[in-house]
Amino acid sequence: MFHAGLPRFTGKTVEASSTSFAELVNKADHPVIVDFYANWCGPCKMLGPLLEKSVAANPKVTLVKLDVDEAVELAAKYQIAALPTVAAFNKGEVVDQFVGMRNGPQVETFVKKHAELA
């Protein structure tokens, strides 16, 4: 019998809030890339589209965007000290991350590496 558990957003970009983060990231049954960003952050605005494009091309992962100004407690929990910070989660745990701007090929390599864990 087919059983649909939590909704899968693989290959998609989803905006998270403090209340939806746990379900989208910690309870996911596949790798999740989290973009910790802020609206005032210039490099975040440049990195976001690169992440979205790479995740769309690697449908085994989901991109979850979290505005740290709206989720201060989560930013503190994951020790986000600089923006942008991108973290890869697998089974609810941070398994990899980078801080700062990256170019397209570097972002693609990061996303592809974690898509292969699915």
> Of residues 16, 25, 32, 44, which has the active-site annotation?
44
Q: Is 32 a catalytic residue?
A: no
Q: CA 52, CA 11: separation in Å to the nearest integer? A: 9
> Of residues 41, 61, 66, 86, which has the active-site annotation?
41
Q: Is 41 a catalytic residue?
A: yes
CA separation, residue 5 to residues 17, 23, 29, 30, 45 (Å): 21, 11, 9, 12, 33
The residues that are catalytic are 41, 44
